[in-house]
Amino acid sequence: MTSPSRRKILTAGGLGLLTVPLGGLAAPQAYGVAGRPATRAPAVALDVISDIQGGLADLGRALDSLKGLGDADALVIAGDLVAQGTVAQYEELYAKIAGHPHPDRVLAALGNHEQYNADPFDTQVKRFLEYTGMPDVYSETSAGGLPLLFIGTTAPAVNGTSPPFVTLGRTQLSWLDATLAKHADAPHVLVFSHHVLPGTVSGTTGPDAARFYDQDFVDEDELLTILGGHANVVFFSGHTHWDLGRQDWAARKIVQGGDPRGFHVFNTGMIETLYGPDGKGGEKPLDPAASQGLRVLLDADGRLTVESHDFTRGKIIRSLEL
């Protein structure tokens, strides 16, 4: 007998979920060195990338490409900064960043690849925090008054290199709940996670979804319940390496019992190797040369626009205004 999908289990358990793919404006327009077409200067600009995993040449190209869009207030790396989390890899990563134009602020979420070594979990986390300058695996900061929240695991993956990868824990969940409540009147609160929510963006939803992404979080139900109560949440996740040209690169997630407007979720793309469906409920590498990421823009009127970018071809892929 075929086991029920994760989505059916959640619904049967009382946590009803609805995902609405958002697509956005397809905008395959080259911007090149001259920058993208002129628009009003944003109040806040963030560059968001993920899944570098040793692809340092691709990272350099991405940083150069993002600089062509104009200055940003911060660079956010949504996890998998390195391939195995060794000291040498962190040194190489930050040397590469230093050799290319980038915002002064570089923020990061903890990914699973930062833990792919034989060191104790506490050592892995300490190394991540020392190199990134982040205060903890979960934290709050801001850019131009825009709240930026980071979440990450407080315990090693229960199955090693297989999901679920993240245990948030009661303390972090309580912190997240209280922090989102504190910002209830903010137009937008950005939440950055390396790992993905089920049935949201590319790789996790639709008939070609990869079952590998059915449950990244041990405490998934609790996390969704908290996020689902806040329509101003904009959740960014990496991990899948799936194409930002897909309609499901962005979605609106509605959780039963939460705010009926739902909250927004975005795929952050990849620096190293594009993946996609294999037609068998899994995934496969599609293009090792592909490299994609986001620029997030907040204007003076509080409108948030998320652009997806192809760094290899120097093009805007899609744009969605919230």
- Residue 287 phi, psi (nearest 5): -155, 105
User: Domains in the chain, please, with CATH?
Assistant: 40-321 (3.60.21.10)
* 78 and 238 Cβ atoms separated by less than 8 Å: yes
Burial of residue 96 (CB within 10 Å: 0-12, 13-18, 19+) is: middle
pLDDT confidence of residue 74: 98
> What number of CA atoms fall less than 13 Å from residue 295's CA on the CB side?
29
User: pLDDT tens digit string along 36-94?
Assistant: 444 567 899 999 999 999 999 999 999 999 999 999 999 999 999 999 999 999 999 99
256 torsion bin: left (phi>0), alpha (psi -120 to 50), beta (else):
beta
* Mean of the per-residue pLDDT values of the chain: 90
* 234 and 200 Cβ atoms separated by less than 8 Å: no
Percent of the chain past pLDDT 90, that is, above it, reads: 85
User: pLDDT tens digit string along 92-144?
Assistant: 999 999 999 999 999 999 999 999 999 999 999 999 999 999 999 999 999 99
SS3 string, 63-126, reads HHHHHCCCCCCEEEEECCCCCCCCHHHHHHHHHHHHCCCCCCCEEEECCCHHHCCCCCHHHHHH
SS3 22: coil
Is pLDDT above 80 for 27?
A: no
CA distances from 207 to 210, 212, 243 (A): 9, 14, 16
* 308 and 269 Cβ atoms separated by less than 8 Å: yes
Q: What is the mean pLDDT of residues 159-185?
A: 96
Q: Given pLDDT bands bounded at 50, 70 and 90, which one contains residue 31?
A: very low
pTM: 0.90
The enclosing H or E element of 174 equals: helix 169-182
pLDDT confidence of residue 159: 85
